Structure 1
Amino acid sequence: MKRSGTLEAGVGAFVLAGLLGLIFLGLQVSGMSFGQTDRNFTLYANFSNIGGLQERSRVTMSGVTVGRVTDISLDPKWLDARVTMQIDSDVGKQLSQDSSAAILTSGLLGEQYIGLTTGGAPEMLKSGDTIRDTQSALVLEHLIQQFVSNMSK
């Protein structure tokens, strides 16, 4: 059976398209992109427990992704987790100083992300400000431990 050049080129193009599709899907799932985003509005928030929050986790507002977590470190002064977020600048400029940040979970055991809720203060946050009103992650192990200890009493 003779192989034609067009058949081999077609199979090669099909395999190449499949590989490019897998790379694209991998980038979409990981949250990385090639597109230029206008996320130059930096906010900080301190949490007593971040649970499974990771760098590149989503930052949402009303369920819409408006940014990403860029860094997580230990605050040497307060000894709690300091989370750095890059927010879309058009959204960040509309957050009031009494806005709150909470670590939420997608589903029962899903990924953790930060949910922002705007407040009603007339003063707005500036890039580099810290959100003071925070709610830490709900850790399932702590809830189970509390339930077991309450049941044993």
Structure 2
Amino acid sequence: MKRSKTMELGVGLFVLAGILGLVFLGLSVSGVGNNLSSDSFSLKADFANVGGLKKGSRVTMSGVQIGRVTSVDLDKEWFDARVTMQLNGDLEGQLSEDTTAAILTSGLLGEQYVGLTVGGAPETLKDGDTIHDTQKALVLEELIQQFVSNMVNN
């Protein structure tokens, strides 16, 4: 009798550890527990088309994550998509004024994210500044439509 209770306790602890591991893995993959430190700053960028970019998408530079998208809104004056990004604070004053922002896709049909490329201007971006040189998202449906229309016209 004593042995079965010990075995049941061991199995219960093993199952509990497995559930906790799955919860930790889920939070790590979703990025919920991956908040930026309080030492951060924000930049904005206007895009003609953001595709599937959404709040929480990553912001990268040279393949390294340096921030997250905090909001995607419609600019009611120019009817462009305004993307607000929260970046690591140690980059404030390091990104040149002619930095470019592009919406990229991870893989063929993967998640979309913002990729930043630094320029060479001596002036730098500060908290709240706007990146003016942007490249819109590459939307697969638009590419297919162009391909089909070119095939029909030829």
TM over 0.5: yes
RMSD: 1.6
Alignment match, 2:10? 10
TM-score in terms of structure 2 length? 0.92
Segments ≥4 residues shifted beyond 6 Å: none
Give the direction of change, closer, same or farther, for the CA distance of 1:114–1:36 in structure 2 (3 Å limit).
closer
TM-score normalized by structure 1? Answer: 0.93
**Partner of 1:28 in structure 2?**
28
Opposite residue 88 of structure 1, the aligned amino acid is N
Equivalent positions of 1:2-151 (< 5 A) are 4-33=4-33, 37-38=37-38, 40-151=40-151
* 1:109 counterpart letter in structure 2: L
On the 8 A contact 2:100/2:119 being kept in 1, the answer is: yes
Distance 1:127 1:114 in 2: 18
CA contact (8 A) 2:28 2:34 kept: no
- What do residues 22-60 of structure 1 show as CA deviations (whole Å, max 9, x unaligned)? 111111111121676245210111101000111111100
Letter in 1 for 2:10: G
Where does the alignment leave 5 or more consecutive residues of structure 1 unmatched? none
Give the Cα separation in 2 of the matches to 1:71 and 1:99. Answer: 20
- Write the letter of the residue equivalent to 1:95: L
CA distance in 2, matches of 1:16, 1:151: 58
Task: Report the count of equivalent residues.
Answer: 153
Q: Percent identity?
A: 67
2:112 and 2:119 mapped to 1: Cα distance? Answer: 22
